[in-house]
Amino acid sequence: MSNRLQLAASASLIALIFLCLSWELWLAPLKPGGSWMAAKSFPLLLPLFGILKGRRYSYQVSSLLALLYLLEGSVRATSDTGPSQWLAVIETLLALIFFVSVVAYARLSAPSRTPQD
């Protein structure tokens, strides 16, 4: 079960990074030619290697980070129009998948839940 959660967290995090970059640089940027809003993907790079390696602390911290992207996606899904609105819906779904998987992984990998020798 934890392998599936780790895979879901890793895949949704990587997809969220690529979505944030492509959204603000090519798909529907705020300004033609891209904008500095693409920098919103940089905080997602911080826990990336910890998530890929299965470090519990990275999962715990990134659960809080996921909430920011869930919030941004929800706000932009209800306030933007056109392609930006659909990209916001996708961001919301990816952030939700990421949040649920990191919380579940952190809970399952708790020291009190792991078998002791």
CA 87 to chain centroid, in Å, comes to 14
Give the model's pLDDT for residue 116: 62
Q: Is residue 62 part of a domain?
A: yes
Backbone angles phi, psi at 35, to 5 degrees: -145, 170
Q: Is residue 69 part of a domain?
A: yes
- Provide the token pair at 97: 């998948």
pLDDT by residue for the chain (117 residues), tens only, comes to 789 999 999 999 999 999 999 998 888 887 777 777 788 999 999 999 999 999 999 999 999 999 999 999 999 999 999 999 999 999 999 999 999 999 999 999 887 765 665
Domain of 86 in residue numbering reads as 2-32+40-108
CA 75 to chain centroid, in Å, comes to 16
Q: Is residue 114 part of a domain?
A: no
Give the model's pLDDT for residue 39: 87
- Provide the token pair at 69: 């992207």
Give the model's pLDDT for residue 114: 58
Q: Is residue 117 part of a domain?
A: no
Q: Tell me, what DSSP letter sits at residue 31?
A: S
Q: Is residue 113 part of a domain?
A: no
Domains identified in the chain, total number: 1
Q: In degrees, to the nearest 5, what angle opens at C-alpha 33 toward C-alphas 10 and 30? A: 70
Q: Is the pTM of this model over 0.95?
A: no
**Distance from C-alpha of 68 to C-alpha of 117, rounded to nearest angstrom:** 39
